[in-house]
Amino acid sequence: MAHPLPCVCLCVDDFGLDGAVNEAVLHLLELGRIGATGALVDGPAWASGAAQLRAQPAGRIDVGLHLDLTELSLATEARHKLPLRQLIGASYTRRLDAGWLAAEVTRQLDAFEAAWQQAPAFVDGHQHVHQLPMVREALLDELLQRYPDPAQRPWLRDTRPALGLSAGAGNAFKAAVIAALGRPALHRMAKQYGFAMNRALSGVYDFKGDGVRYQQLLSAWLLHARHGDVLMCHSAAAMVRGDAIAAARCNEYQVLASEWFGGLLEQLPLRIGPLARWLHEAQQEQASER
């Protein structure tokens, strides 16, 4: 399918974590700088933020579930959440409680739909947990049961690295590690069961440095971006209390909302927007050609 300009989706993760994250998403959406946001449904600002997003014109943003199995434990059903390293170890040794895992996926999708009042446009994972063993099976089982019509299914985040060493060797290594933790298996399963996925993922870095460094990274990511890529962001309009990457969130927001970034987008041969409609159209076109 031909497109006048490649579409790249800037996705702000962690919507609902705090009012400052929501504020950043709403402002960046107004500026036309992002195309998606992933929701933490156990976040204290999720319900109010969902209402604010529902007031926006339809089709401007993909709102998805940012499946969380490691951090927020605001609901009693989430009491089994583990630190990331423990979750990875338990998933690869298949020691996770399968019943809890299935119930937790269902609970978070229920909470998402209750506030957003429709299915998620996509599903990914906080700290990329959606691709881990046991988690990916539980997630796809629930999505297939919940959304039997392929046209209504959320797209899934593919963590295939979009960029090599031009974003720095350390960041490239981190991106490769993320992809190694289940990406090939999830990609095969998504293809088998008819789930659309983004082409590749950028935006991986160590959350260090100031706004100037983030400008440099952002320029490199977008210069190498291709149609259907997701560029992952973590932005907030103010410091989020108790958050380990609070300073990085503020740096990102200031850069993404800046005149500098607006000027960069005018120069680059791409457009920023949501992916759901394009991905489903491409999927239907591929099916019709078989």
In which residue are the tokens 């999830």 written?
186
CA distances from 29 to 66, 111, 243 (A): 18, 23, 23
CB environment 21-36: b (16+ within 10 A), e (fewer)? bbbbbbbbbeeebbbb
Longest dimension (CA), the chain: 52
| Polymer length in residues for the chain | 290
Summarize pLDDT for 141-176 with one digit per residue, the tens: 999 999 999 888 999 999 999 965 556 777 889 999
Region class of 59: left (phi > 0), else alpha (psi between -120 and 50), else beta: left
Check if the beta carbon of residue 107 is closer than 8 Å to that of residue 173.
no
**pTM (2 decimals)?**
0.94
Which residue stretches of the chain have pLDDT < 70? 1-3, 73-80, 163-167, 283-290
Domains, the chain, ranges and CATH? 7-289 (3.20.20.370)
Which SS3 state, helix, strand or coil, does residue 127 take? helix
Q: Check residue 290 and give its pLDDT.
A: 55
DSSP string, 229-254: -EEEE---SSPPTT-TTHHHHHHHHH
The tens digit of pLDDT for each residue in 245-264 reads 999 999 999 999 999 999 99
